[in-house]
Amino acid sequence: MELGRLPSVRRLWGCGLALSVVLFGVSTDRAQPAASQPNPQSQSDSPDKSSSANKKDKNSEPPTTRLKIEITDPNGKPVGNASVYVRFNQTGGPLHKDKLAELNLKTNDDGSVKVPEIPQGKILIQVIAKGWHTYGKWYDIEKDEDTIEIKLEPPPHWY
């Protein structure tokens, strides 16, 4: 191995020293103004900021709604044992992003199902019942309580 190709000790020490000065200088520049000069405005703003943060935490949850979904055929007869899927955005997912949550429910003999409290906003309702055409529609719910009536259509004829 040639000695001319190896980096010199002086060059390595110089790079290391320059890097440490840059890193140390950046960290002390950021720390000194905050520690050496107290800012009276930041102290007076801190209670307001914390109270506004608490308000945001309390109000961050969207208002909820309770739904009742009634499934009938075109003649108004209730459709029992139908699968009802309710999809809605739920806050607080990974990295504080909304995620799509789903409830799987079944209608009772009178063709209705009560949905537990879910957030107001855009809600997807899908209905699957044996012998009926599959139904799906997005709803924009903004009430505390609401009843949604869905009429299923007969299945398409297959020849």
Q: Per mean pLDDT, which of 2-16, 41-55, 81-95 is the most reliable?
A: 81-95
| Contact predicate 75/152, CB 8 Å | no
Q: Tally the C-alpha atoms within 13 A of residue 152's C-alpha that lie toward its C-beta.
A: 27
Q: What token pair was written down for 110?
A: 């009178």
pTM above 0.75, yes or no: no
On the question of pLDDT at 21 being above 90, the answer is no
- Going through the chain in order, the beta strands assigned E by DSSP cover 64-72, 83-90, 99-106, 112-119, 121-128, 135-141, 145-151
Q: pLDDT tens digits, residue range 118-129?
A: 999 999 999 999
Q: pLDDT tens digits, residue range 36-78?
A: 455 555 444 444 444 444 444 445 677 999 999 999 999 999 9
Q: Rounded to 5 degrees, what angle do the CA atoms 82, 112, 67 make? A: 110
